């Protein structure tokens, strides 16, 4: 009996605590991303992702390779999300979380969407598998950190506005020419030229002409 249990374990090696065997053949979408100056790591990322998918017995439905600088550039990532929305993949596989998400908030938003779609998510470096209870607990922690990040940003905005007010800076949207229509007409009736009206009220000459034309109608 002991020999049989040992044989069963040998046939089903575990990856991130999961048996190689699964209820169905998962279709995986692979995502690899590097900065413009670090393109040589794309092949190593893809190789690691392919090896992991093979160990889990997954088929590869889509591979996305993205190169770009800056936190905001993830255009090709949308191809993988679109495939998830069309139910063409069952799991997204990435090398590392920072390769996938632009920020904690962005990471959480995409993970929540994938979860809503019933699509799993695995990050190799962090050994994060959101198809497991432990992985879902980690996602909950990410939600806490995302809210923390948003609160820090809100606090910075409030501090910046307060600093601007203390320094006499005007806040809010700039005053539009339409709000000065009455002044424009009054100055024009007083014989002031359109160019001078524009200079005094700090609006464009075209705006002055538009206001006067509207009045004539």
Over the stretch 8-34, which tens digit does the pLDDT of each residue have?
A: 444 444 444 444 444 467 899 999 988
Most confident of 31-40, 69-78, 195-204: 195-204
Superfamily of domain 13-145: Resolvase, N-terminal catalytic domain (3.40.50.1390)
Q: In what order do the strands lie in the sheet with 27-34?
A: 59-67, 27-34, 91-94, 120-123, 128-129
**What integer pLDDT is reported at residue 136 of this predicted model?**
67
H or E segment and range at residue 60: strand 59-67
Q: Over 80: is that where the pLDDT of 88 sits?
A: yes
The answer to whether 48 and 28 have CB atoms below 8 angstroms apart is: no
Bin 96: left if φ > 0, else alpha if -120 < ψ < 50, else beta.
beta
pLDDT at 213: 78
Residues 6 or more apart whose Cβ sits within 8 Å of residue 116: none
Write phi, then psi, for 2 (nearest 5 degrees). -65, -40
Structure tokens belonging to residue 80: 């993988």
Residue 65: beta bridge partners? 32
State what percent of residues in the chain have pLDDT above 90.
21
Catalytic residues: 35
Mean pLDDT score of the chain, rounded to an integer? 76
pTM for this entry: 0.55
Quote the pLDDT of residue 175: 56
CA–CA gap between residue 109 and residue 99 (Å, rounded): 15
What pLDDT score does 73 carry? 58
* pLDDT band, residue 90 (cuts 50/70/90): very high
Give rounded-to-5 percent helix, strand, coil for the chain: 55, 15, 30
Q: What pLDDT score was predicted for residue 10?
A: 43
């Amino acid at each position: 009996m002991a020999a049989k249990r040992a044989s069963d374990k040998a046939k089903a090696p575990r990856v991130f605590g999961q048996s190689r065997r699964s209820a169905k053949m998962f279709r995986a979408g692979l995502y690899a991303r590097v900065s413009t100056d670090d393109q040589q790591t794309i092949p190593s990322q893809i190789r690691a992702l392919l090896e992991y998918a093979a160990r889990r017995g997954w088929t590869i439905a889509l591979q996305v390779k993205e190169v770009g600088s800056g936190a905001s550039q993830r255009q090709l990532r949308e191809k993988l999300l679109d495939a998830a929305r069309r139910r063409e993949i069952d799991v997204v596989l990435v090398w590392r979380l920072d390769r996938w998400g632009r920020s904690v908030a962005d990471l959480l938003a995409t993970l929540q969407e994938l979860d809503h779609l019933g699509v799993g998510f695995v990050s190799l470096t962090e050994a994060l598998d959101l198809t497991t209870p432990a992985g879902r607990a980690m996602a909950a922690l990410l939600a806490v950190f995302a809210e923390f990040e948003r609160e820090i940003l809100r606090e910075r905005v409030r501090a910046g506005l307060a600093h601007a007010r203390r320094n006499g800076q005007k806040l809010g949207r700039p005053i539009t020419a339409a709000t000065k229509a009455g002044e424009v007409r009054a100055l024009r009736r007083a014989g002031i030229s359109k160019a001078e009206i524009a200079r005094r009220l700090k609006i464009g000459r075209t705006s002055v002409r538009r206001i006067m034309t509207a009045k004539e109608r």
